[in-house]
Amino acid sequence: MPAQPPKKALQFLRWFCREDFLEEIEGDLIELFAIQFPEASRQASWTFFWWVLRYFRPEFIKSFQSGTLMNTALVKHNLLISYRGFTRNKTAFLINLIGLSTSLATAFFIVLWVQSEWKMDRFHEKDERLYQVMQNYQLPEDKIKVTSWTPGPLSQGLRDEFPELEYATSFKTGNFFDGILSASEQAFKATPVYADQDFLQVFSFPLITGDKSQVLTEPGSAVISQSLAKKLFGTAFKAVGQTVEWNKSEGASARYKGSFIISGVIEDISPHSSMQFDILLPYQFFMDHTWGVERWNNHPVSTAMILRQGVDLSLLDQKITQLVQAKDGAYNGVYFLKQFSSQYLYGTYENGVLVGGRIDYLWLFVCIACLILIIASINFMNLSTAKASIRLKEIGVKKTLGVSRGELIGQFITESLLLSFLALLVAFVLVAVLLQPFNAITGKQLSLNFSLIHVMLFTGITVLTGLLSSTYPAFYLSAFKPIQVLKGKIERSVGELWIRQGLVVFQFVISIFLIVAVLVISQQMSYIHNKNLGYDRHHILSLRTIGPLFEKMEPFFEEIRKLPEVQSIANSNTNLVACENFTWQPLPHAEGEHTEHILLNVFIVTPEFLQTYGIQIKEGRNFSKDFGTETSKVILNETAVKEMGLNNPIGSMITFWDVPVEVIGVVKDFRYHSMYKRVEPCIFRLFNEGDNFGRFIWIKLEAGQQVKEIDKIADVYQQFNPGLAMEYGFVDEEYQQLYESENRVAALSKYFAVIAILISCLGLFGLAAFTAEKRTKEIGIRKILGASEWRIVTLLSKDFTVMVLMAILIAMPLSFVIGHRWLESFADKIQLQSWVYVLAAAIALLIAWLTVGVQTFRAARANPVNSLRAE
Amino acid sequence: MQIPSLGGFEELVLLTVAAQHNKAYGVSIKESLEKELNKTVSISAIHVALKRMNEKGFVQSRFGGITQDRGGRRKKFYVITSLGKAAIDRQFEIRTRIYRQIPKLSFI
């Protein structure tokens, strides 16, 4: 056997070449190949390809027009037949239309939501080179904590030492720095970011006026947002050069108060930015007014940078770590760089390893969208194959008249595409109507602006759904043999029945799974909301120390204490729900080589704090005025005692902030932070004499009649802070906000589960209707022979019951495994209980019975005479 | 009767077909032409020329028998038709006539 020419080339030739020329050309080419091969065996294959390619010209290319979709007459005919089909089977048509449009609307919502989440933080011009500095802290027991906090002077250090980066900026964000901005006798609350000169070079927040390299260089300059400028000065351009007063007089150690000249105005921050603020203030101002920002062993700020092209990231990571270690010998963490925009979606770390973040929810919802679309497609498949018998004659006649299978398939695909596009229209109406409520649940500002991407995505999804739902019916229906069909004999294979039932089972597996998911999620949520956290978070009003009130705290407290409904009032430097103040504490017996540190959360409080929050004291006592000044006394929690290794904590001396202090009490562990975290060690101490107040005021109220009490407190507040409305919150509400995204997922998943179940039931309804219709004669005969109505109902529902039971069997282990995995992310979680599954199964079964029952009962009640007289 | 026009390369192929009476097929034409012209001729160009001349009615084709070589594919043999013969005759005639009109030239 001589050498073989390359197969691929021959295949290609056969694919495009006209059949009447093919044999000659192939033969000649093979012969030539055989001649050439011995001379230049290596090149021969390539030459062969080249030869083949030269035949790729109009004379030799066969006609690819099959005529299925090109033929307008045929398309018209298909549309007409589809239309007639729709009008003839109104139930099936409506079921399909409702199912498809609901699922498409759901999918569109999810597309909008995913797209909006995806865009978060990606609008910065140099997004792909914009990195944030992160670090891994070493905690006891080899735990690693990942944070984005960095030392205050880091950006300066980076600028000085690393030519690898274009710009670096350190900045301080956080709405607990909210203050009052006043000018021309007007005052507004504003959220600041304290940023150094390169902030606007790193982040692309567009300036309306001003030069981004200049606006933040002067120590006394500030940049405000457009809407704030409008409120204060009328227009953005008038604002430049004006002087504004910034007052944020709260917190013990820092009083952020000063006047600034506006050097620029930025556009209002896009909702696609995770950083939201109204005003940029100089970083130097923050440094000057905050203790310890200039220290390298303190990590109070964030740092971001623009890298140059082609920088080796891991090398830079090491260099940054070395830089910090050179400045702070005790530092034992590891720095690394992370693309700024990825933090939003991929922000969850577990023991130093990236495990996901919001991206999990994105995937979850994309999966749900796909599942719901599949459920609706299954309805279409099932109804059209079940109703095949009605169309058999049509197919038989068409086939006898010479319609090819391809054309029949084309017809069915046209039909389902037509239906899909009708559903698309309905879906658009649904989306337009429901967009507002959806925004309310998700907390987004989504809108239907028809960009090309949207149109393409939506059309794509619609076409895909149409194709998905039509392929099986199209191939199934077009495969009938005309003679058998016209004779009225169709062999319904067992396989076909299996497929249809299997699809129903699949639908119900998804539905049951979603029911279980909803039950588990809502149980876990209510567990979190009602769990005993070790402190009482109810009826506690929270205020912020803001404005002139700060100067007159003691009299304000006295006034409030006089109100009969107030049980106690306390003050602290940090929020209990989301503690933001922690420090590194050397272990008490740290001498010589023992330089181990633990991370301590610090609560600086007034003596009433523990009482206000109902935190229980396990040993020792609370702070008390009876003992004189107690600024050198501290209270620890149980975890702190354990991790410090104190055997007799009461009365023992530890070093805290370089000063020896005495432990006077131990409180039972209580949960601050969110449930994802373990209880961390914490320490309570009093404010120093003199600078005695922090930014949070807590007022414990009597239960009931809260509105009245708040009014009274607001009156007092007005006396101390004239002109400023009292902004307040409740601790239990703030606690719920910690679980914002979980609450949203819980709410959304409920709706999606309901939609999935409804669509599955629609399909079941259609199938049941069809079965009942087909078996009218059988039912009539049975009734005449004496079968009771009940007997007939059970007869008809039996098949469906079996299907749902099978679905339950499959769905249970699946939902157990996935539910278990979801719960694992919580430090405190519920046990998966069996009643959840029983309930889910019961719900599914009940809904299925109800759906089928309506149909079967009607069939069973019908007068047999009517069904039997027809012939 | 109007004889369709005959291109230059087509003429060469047609001549070869006529010369290899009843035994001309793609590869044989290619080999013969390459020998005569002393340059490579692409097989696809020959096929294109054959198709065109088939449409014009200058050649007829028939399949040969199945053989072991050529991967079992049959050869397609071409024969010149009377129209084809007329076409090359006319072509020859025209050329000779014009050639004869050339005055005696001497190139020194």
Contact B48 A59 (CB under 8 A): yes
Residue of A nearest to B48 (CA): A59
Contact B44 A34 (CB under 8 A): no
The Cα–Cα gap between A423 and A440 comes to: 25
- From the number of C-beta atoms within 10 Å of its C-beta (0-12, 13-18, 19+), residue A770 rates as buried
Q: Which residues of A touch B27 (CB under 8 A)?
A: 28, 31-32, 35
Contact A55 B69 (CB under 8 A): no
Which span out of A137-146, A412-421, A474-483 was modeled with the highest average pLDDT? Answer: A412-421
How much is the average pLDDT of A89-108? 88
Contact B69 A25 (CB under 8 A): no
- Give the residue with greater pLDDT, A213 vs A549: A213
pLDDT per residue as tens digits for the range A206-261: 888 888 888 888 888 999 999 888 888 888 888 888 888 887 655 444 467 788 99
Cβ contacts below 8 Å, chain A against chain B, sum to 58
Contact B30 A32 (CB under 8 A): yes
How much is the average pLDDT of A454-474? 87
Residue B81 φ/ψ region, left for φ over 0, alpha for ψ in the -120 to 50 degree band, beta for the rest: beta
Are A235 and A133 contacting, i.e. CB atoms less than 8 angstroms apart? no
| pLDDT at residue number A105 | 92
The Cα–Cα gap between A356 and A348 comes to: 5
The Cα–Cα gap between A812 and A837 comes to: 7
Q: Which helix (H) or strand (E) covers residue A582, if one does?
A: strand A582-586
Q: Which residues of A touch B62 (CB under 8 A)?
A: none
Q: Which residues of B touch A62 (CB under 8 A)?
A: none
Q: Is B75 on the interface with A (CB under 8 A)?
A: yes
- Across A176-185, A310-319, B17-26, least confident range: A176-185
Q: Is A25 on the interface with B (CB under 8 A)?
A: yes
pLDDT per residue as tens digits for the range A483-536: 877 776 666 666 777 888 888 898 889 888 888 888 888 888 888 777 777 788
* Residue B12 Cα, gap to closest chain A Cα (Å): 19
| pLDDT at residue number A594 | 47
Q: Is B70 on the interface with A (CB under 8 A)?
A: yes
pLDDT per residue as tens digits for the range A334-361: 889 999 999 888 888 877 788 777 888 8
| pLDDT at residue number A68 | 45
* Residue A28 Cα, gap to closest chain B Cα (Å): 6
Are B56 and B81 contacting, i.e. CB atoms less than 8 angstroms apart? no
The Cα–Cα gap between B69 and A781 comes to: 73
Q: Is B68 on the interface with A (CB under 8 A)?
A: no
Q: Is A26 on the interface with B (CB under 8 A)?
A: yes
Residue of A nearest to B27 (CA): A28
How much is the average pLDDT of A30-58? 81
The three-class DSSP label of residue A775 is: coil
Residue of A nearest to B62 (CA): A24
Q: Which helix (H) or strand (E) covers residue A603, if one does?
A: strand A597-605
pLDDT per residue as tens digits for the range A674-688: 666 678 888 888 877
Give per-residue burial for A538-559: e unless 16+ CB within 10 Å, then b: ebbbbbbbbbebbeebeebbeb
Contact A21 B47 (CB under 8 A): yes
Q: Which residues of B touch A30 (CB under 8 A)?
A: 69-71, 73
Q: Is B78 on the interface with A (CB under 8 A)?
A: no
Contact B76 A24 (CB under 8 A): yes
Q: Of all residues in chain B, what percent are helix, strand and coil, respectively (each to 5)?
A: 55, 10, 35
Q: Is B62 on the interface with A (CB under 8 A)?
A: no
Are A741 and A358 contacting, i.e. CB atoms less than 8 angstroms apart? yes
The percentage of chain A sitting over the pLDDT mark of 90, rounded to a whole number, equals: 7
| pLDDT at residue number A868 | 79
- Give the residue with greater pLDDT, A703 vs A112: A112
Count the neighbouring beta carbons within 10 Å of the beta carbon of residue A379.
30
The percentage of chain A sitting over the pLDDT mark of 70, rounded to a whole number, equals: 91
Q: Is A9 on the interface with B (CB under 8 A)?
A: no
Q: Which long-range contacts (CB under 8 A, 24 or more apart) does A70-77 make?
A: A74/A407, A74/A410, A75/A414, A77/A411
Q: Which helix (H) or strand (E) covers residue A306, if one does?
A: strand A302-307
Contact B26 A24 (CB under 8 A): yes
Nearest-10 crossing angle of helices A405-442, A90-119: 50
pLDDT per residue as tens digits for the range A367-407: 888 988 988 888 888 888 777 767 777 888 888 888 888 88
Contacts of A309 (CB under 8 A, 6+ apart): A129
Identify which of A30, A51, A59 has the shortest CB distance to residue B70: A30
Q: Which of A235, A236, A222, A238 is nearest to A181 (CA)?
A: A222
- Across A185-194, A590-599, A753-762, B52-61, least confident range: A590-599
Identify which of B27, B48, B51 has the shortest CB distance to residue A28: B27
Nearest-10 crossing angle of helices A740-774, A494-530: 150
pLDDT per residue as tens digits for the range B42-84: 888 888 888 888 888 888 888 888 777 777 788 888 999 888 8
Q: Is A7 on the interface with B (CB under 8 A)?
A: no
Instruction: Kindly report the average pLDDT of chain A as a whole number.
Output: 82
Q: Which residues of A touch B74 (CB under 8 A)?
A: 23-24, 27
Q: Which residues of B touch A51 (CB under 8 A)?
A: 42-44
Identify which of A26, A35, A55 has the shortest CB distance to residue B44: A55
| pLDDT at residue number A818 | 86
Beta strand pairing call for A696-701 and A540-544: antiparallel
How much is the average pLDDT of A699-726? 77
pLDDT per residue as tens digits for the range A581-636: 666 666 665 444 445 667 788 888 888 888 888 888 888 888 887 777 777 888 98
Contact B51 A30 (CB under 8 A): no
Q: Which of A238, A230, A245 is nearest to A182 (CA)?
A: A245
| pLDDT at residue number A51 | 84
| pLDDT at residue number B97 | 93
Contact A23 B27 (CB under 8 A): no
